[in-house]
Structure 1
Amino acid sequence: MFLDYWEAYIAHHKRIDHRSSVNGYLPYAKGVYKPEDLSANAERIKVFRDRQRAVKELLSELSEDRLWNAIVVFQRYLFHTASGLTFTYQLKKGRNGENNRELIVDRRGESKSIVWSSVLLTFEKAVELRGAIVNRPEDLGEIRDVSYIYPMLYRFGIIEAPEEMEEKMVGKRTKEMIDTTGIGKRLITQERIRKLAKNFREAIEYALKNGVFQDDVVMRNFPCGCCGDVTELLGIYLSEHGIKDLWYVCGEYSSDIEGTKNGVGSWISHAWLSVGRPSLSDSLIVDITGDQFKDNADLGNCDIPVYVGKQDAFHRRFEVEMEDTRKLKKIWDDTSNATISLIKMYNEIIRR
């Protein structure tokens, strides 16, 4: 019987040919592999570096102007409040198209505005408390919309938060997931997902050892340079075993260009699965190719072959935009060469 597959995968491959990991997700320093993707990737790299630079400049000079620069470049960044709710913001535009000092917050499809005076008052109080742990947003003052400004200042490095707040603002541990298969509802523990991920990684390693991928330009280097395809394959496997609500996530990392050879920094992308919408605080990361970066000091020399858990220091290094996530959904039989090739690879792995 033909395997179920996902809508997002088909849409993705109508835009580019086979081997997403080769064309967009290879973890190499020079990350643009398709001419048609050049402008989009260049823009993402620019946004990432602009954000890095803005935070660095703000921390070196805690001024209103530097704060404003950070606010400008962090538009559309996905923040979490101290209670774990997600939101983004954009600046209101004036008649001449310039940014007004008013933030339009988008949370769950509803919008509200935050005036600049509230942001500035909260910032000034945060500067006064610099070095101390700010236990809750209200500790910055009885200021309107402080619950939204608190995670912004935390992201900019202006304030420190208690551990329980940090977990909610960067992603809380998932303890249970619900499976709604035809057999009926049952609890799927984090440990079961880890076991499945470990089994699939071992199956890939066995296939690799037995020459299954010797002619495959991507998979023969597992775990290096194949995170895109492996994430797709792992998604099939977890779905076949009843894990629901799977999301494909692609993050990008760019080192500071200052002090690097010829003024050129490194740009790296990495893909992994999320059980649960990546923007939610209870989502769970599933990554079986992170150890390809074990020799990369910039990324903390990650040497974990199978990671299942909340967002950690390694994955936090990667900038993830909302458009770089997509839900994996079961759909109709697909006969495109890209899908057939990937499914053939999947069958080769699981028969071992």
Structure 2
Amino acid sequence: MYKPVIIYTLFWLTGLSLSVEVHQTPSAVFSRPGENVQLFCNHQKSDYRVILWYQRTPGETALKLIGYLNYNSQTIESSYDKHFNMSGDLSGDGPKNASLNMFNLKRPQHSAVYFCAASVSLSKSVSQSPSALLVKPNTSVTLNCSHKIPSYDTILWYQRSVGDTALNLIAYTYYKTLTVEPPYKGYFDVTGDGENDAYLHLLKLRQAEDSGEYFCAASLHSGADTNVEVHQTPSTVFSRPGENVQLFCHHQKSDYTLMFWYQKSQGETALKLIGNLYHKNPTIESSYDKHFNMSGDLSGGGPKNASLNMFNLKRPQHSAVYFCAASYAQCCRFPCLHYKNLLSFTVSVD
């Protein structure tokens, strides 16, 4: 029986220009196996010449990169190249239009939420060298990343292992403060200055674990207004299984009416989205809704306060580091999640 599920959503991607409005059509698609689908993404920002496409499958919080269109050149991840391609031309000074084309739909792998994101191309501002290396195990390698973006103070390094679509954070340089994520300590080091040049040192290459692609990114540290200070209390909580915990987050920025909560489990580098609070409306990811909710009121013109409420704690899944973040929401419709300028499409194959 054909039972379509309609989901209308508008997503925003924090950290991009608030003046960029990205539009998509259609907002929902219902197709049968074997059919083809075309999704469209457009915006008016003439210097945003990259459009990226992501997939989030039911029951997952992770976004998987399908590929991206840079000017009129497409790059498709190998795990998607049999059923997906992209078209469009993002060059020139006019409006930008692109499409994601899906062929011979399969169930259940293609029933998902699809996202597009617009980005300014930094290919002329951020450079990484060397571009490729072929080395033997137990040798050392140094990678360099540099940029010339005056306001950017952080350089981050990521690894994508062979056969994996996820980017894992290795280390970052914030000004001259150096941080290596725990799983990579002893195998990687980082030096340099986040305002211009940074170096990733692979200290003793392991054949399987360290084979892959390495990415660098330049960033403004907060990814938002640098005048926004977000405070979280308490800083540390010790609880027993079965107990309840409440974490608080507040800031003074009256027009930042979105708060997000993330979890980073022990031994992992990924931040997993728990949910968000938009004005008074909480949205909890399905994998967290049994043990978490959110409360607070982010409307009005005063200080913003919200809390993450955790119930009937379990060990080890709830032993983790929890993060809150504040964001500006522009023209946001409920439900509204944590991505600015990142829009969603829903494709249901039945």
Q: TM-score, normalised by structure 2?
A: 0.25
In terms of fraction of residues, the more strand-rich structure is: 2
Q: Which structure carries more helix by proportion? A: 1
